[in-house]
Amino acid sequence: MGNGLAGPWSSEDDQRKARLLRQKLFLGVKSLSQFGADDFVSCLLLDSDDLWVGTWNGAVVRWSLTTETTEGILAPGEIVAPIKLLTATGWFLYAFQNQSLQRYSKVTGTWRSFPYPAGWTGLRVQSVVADGEESLWVAYLGEGLWHWERGLWTLVDDGGGGPFLDALSPDGQGGFWIGTKDRGLWSWKNGSWTPVGAGGPAPQDISVVQPSPDGSRWIVGTWGEGVWLLSQGKLKPLSQKGDYVTGAAWNGDEPLWGSLDEGVVAVRNGEREVLGPLDGLPPGGVSSLVSWQGRWIWGTTGQGLAWWSEHENPSLFR
């Protein structure tokens, strides 16, 4: 840095100033209001090179990350019906709206609605895994693990880990890792429940379970108990308690997560790096997070989409 950068900061602040400038150079933002959505993003889904965005006013937007085109796919109705979760198959996009399950055909460009079980609201659907074009596994907060197939709902299991399920991820061996609200992380396979981390330090309030690209490791995010790494059936803490994790992704083979109050957190070369409002990121909590070809993209609560990348200048895409 030589004698330091000119300005009001002292020379010992030069390194942080340079870091802030660098991060702003690779920061992008996108408002969704012109596509019929609001800027309170409720969920993101990366589907090959398409990013599907759900918002709290009930809209769904598709952003093609290769062509950089964006279009509204579902307009909000007269009655506000938030989109809680999105999941996709080869043919369909499934949107869990608060009053019904909506399915979009990628082939015909049309929507179809399916009812929930009696007493349900889509806002309590916490996690979804698709294992076929018309087959979904659903973690529902308060009523356990369910299976949806061709419009029919079946309660699979509400024992073992209890009914308060928060996160669901395939374990790569025909079962699931299931994160609960009050009983920690469990392995579930063919109706058999096994607690993970029993007898040692382990979190209890799980918010996210995100598999690595090769399916050998999982980011386990919590609500106030930090971030953990699951590998070979064992849990290891990655961050201190206090992280309230709203979303997780993988930056290559390194974990990345969104925090309710801290911003986006990455572990790179074994070091923790935080990108938050103090570093130039837009204000508003991180609601969801994906990673695509080195670009970290997250939804915010009130500022639409934001992203950061080391490999491109996002001003080209604004």
> Do 112 and 97 contact (CB within 8 A), yes or no?
no
| Sheet (strand 176-180) strand order | 165-170, 176-180, 185-189, 192-195
Return d(Cα 85, Cα 44) in angstroms, integer.
8
Note the pLDDT of residue 15: 53
Tell me how far apart the terminal alpha carbons of the chain are, to the nearest angstrom. 31
Which residues are 169's β-sheet partners?
177
pTM, entire model: 0.89
- CATH fold, domain 115-243, is Methylamine Dehydrogenase; Chain H (2.130.10)
DSSP per residue, the chain: -TT--SSSS-GGGHHHHHHHHHHHHTEEEE--GGGT--SBEEEEEEETTEEEEEETTS-EEEEETTTTEEEEEE---SS---EEEEEE-SSEEEEEESSSEEEEETTT--EEEEPPSTT--GGGEEEEEEEETTEEEEEEBTTEEEEEETTEEEEEE-STT-SBEEEEEE-SSSSEEEEESSS-EEEEETTEEEESSTTS---SSEEEEEE-TTSSEEEEEEBSS-EEEEETTEEEE-S-TT-BEEEEEEETTEEEEEETTTEEEEEETTEEEEE-GGGTPPSS-EEEEEEETTEEEEEEBSS-EEEEESS--GGGG-
Q: How high is the pLDDT of residue 4? A: 42
Report the C-alpha gap between 8 and 154 in whole angstroms.
64
Comparing CA positions, the residue from 106, 81, 108 lying closest to residue 93 is 106
Q: Per-residue confidence of the chain (318 residues) as pLDDT tens digits? A: 333 444 454 455 555 544 554 555 567 888 999 998 999 999 999 999 999 999 999 999 999 999 989 999 999 988 889 999 999 999 999 999 999 999 999 999 999 999 999 999 999 999 999 999 999 999 999 999 999 999 999 999 888 888 999 999 999 999 999 999 999 999 999 889 999 987 778 999 999 999 999 999 999 999 999 999 999 999 999 887 778 999 999 988 899 999 887 788 887 777 788 877 766 666 668 999 999 988 899 999 888 998 888 665 544 333
User: Domains of the chain: which residue ranges?
Assistant: 24-105+252-318, 115-243
Tokens 């979804």 appear where?
128
Q: Give me the DSSP letters along 167-214.
A: EEEE-SSSSEEEEESSS-EEEEETTEEEESSTTS---SSEEEEEE-TT
> Taking the alpha carbons of 238, 299, 284, 17 in that order, is the dihedral positive or negative?
positive
The pLDDT value recorded for residue 80 is: 85
pLDDT of res. 318: 34
